[in-house]
Amino acid sequence: MESIRIRSTSSASAITDDIVLRETTTTRLIFRPLIIDNLRKQEASVKGTFIFQRKSGKGNWEDYSDLPLSKLRASEWTKLDLKGVEILELYKRLGDLYQVYHQEGIPFGEAKYIKIDQGLGALLTASEDELHQLFDEETDDVTKLFSRLLNWFSSIKTPSQVLNKLEELDITNLQEIRSIAGLSALKASLAIWNKKQRKLERGVLAEDFRREFFCPISNFCLSNYSC
């Protein structure tokens, strides 16, 4: 996934990665954005500079400014031609910066933002009524999505950030989630019961059956009645 790194330089400004518009093995043209809190016009939150760069002997890109535009005389002039693909790249990258600023403002310190696709972005910004309508109409797809989220959550190494967000949920919603989880455990136990019942009819020991059956039931009880 594409990402955007932003580092604040003051409470009202921040720098981000250079936007590379044109590049060869030894030279390149970049646009260096600066995100600002524009008090006069809030929408005009990004400004910047076009810079030519050359690659040094050590392989680092260095700004090339042998002819600063501020040093041009009245009879001197210059121009900068941009190709269509270069303008398109600049347009898309600046659009990302505008969106991040309008959603998050100027971050404190350094922050990294992951660019998500439009479908997920629409899901995150949808209203409660829109979500209910979507989930009611697309039950199977939503169930698959929820299952994948649970699998992801069970495998992450640092779940603290997710848990912090869960703590913001209303206590009633959390209780309903626990009830659903308990119902799922009961269904799993019923499936084991039916499976083992068929095995018992074929002569499987009852002790093995009890040991496997009571495991999900115990988990259900602990998760719902131990508080």
Domain that holds residue 160: 121-166
Alpha-carbon span 51 to 54, nearest angstrom: 10
CA atoms within 13 A on the CB side of 216: 16
Total domains in the chain come to 3
Say if residue 35 is in the same domain as residue 109. Answer: yes
**Are residues 179 and 111 part of one domain?**
no
CA 5/CA 118 separation, integer angstroms = 20
Residues 85 and 7 occupy one common structural domain:
yes
Taking residues 195-216, report their average pLDDT: 54
pLDDT at 201: 61
126-135 core/surface letters (b: 16 or more CB in 10 A; e: else): eeeeeeeeee
Q: Are residues 153 and 177 in the same domain?
A: no
Q: CB neighbours (10 Å) of residue 6?
A: 21
Summarize pLDDT for 92-129 with one digit per residue, the tens: 999 999 988 988 899 889 988 877 665 666 666 667 77
Residues 194 and 108 in one domain: no
Domain check: are 40 and 110 in the same one? yes
Looking at the structure, do residues 82 and 109 belong to the same domain, yes or no?
yes
pLDDT in tens, 123-169: 666 677 777 776 676 677 767 777 777 777 667 666 666 666 666 66
- Is this model's pTM higher than 0.75 or not? no
Q: Within this chain, do residues 38 and 17 fall inside the same structural domain, yes or no?
A: yes
In this structure, the answer to whether residues 86 and 111 fall within a common structural domain is yes
- Do 32 and 52 have their domain in common? yes
Which of 151, 166, 181 is at the close of a domain? 166
Q: Which two tokens stand for residue 157?
A: 């190494």
**Is the same domain home to 160 and 190?**
no
pLDDT in tens, 18-68: 999 999 999 999 999 999 999 899 899 999 999 999 998 888 999 887 666
Q: Based on the fold, state whether residues 149 and 180 are members of the same structural domain.
A: no
Q: Give the pLDDT mean for 215-222.
A: 42
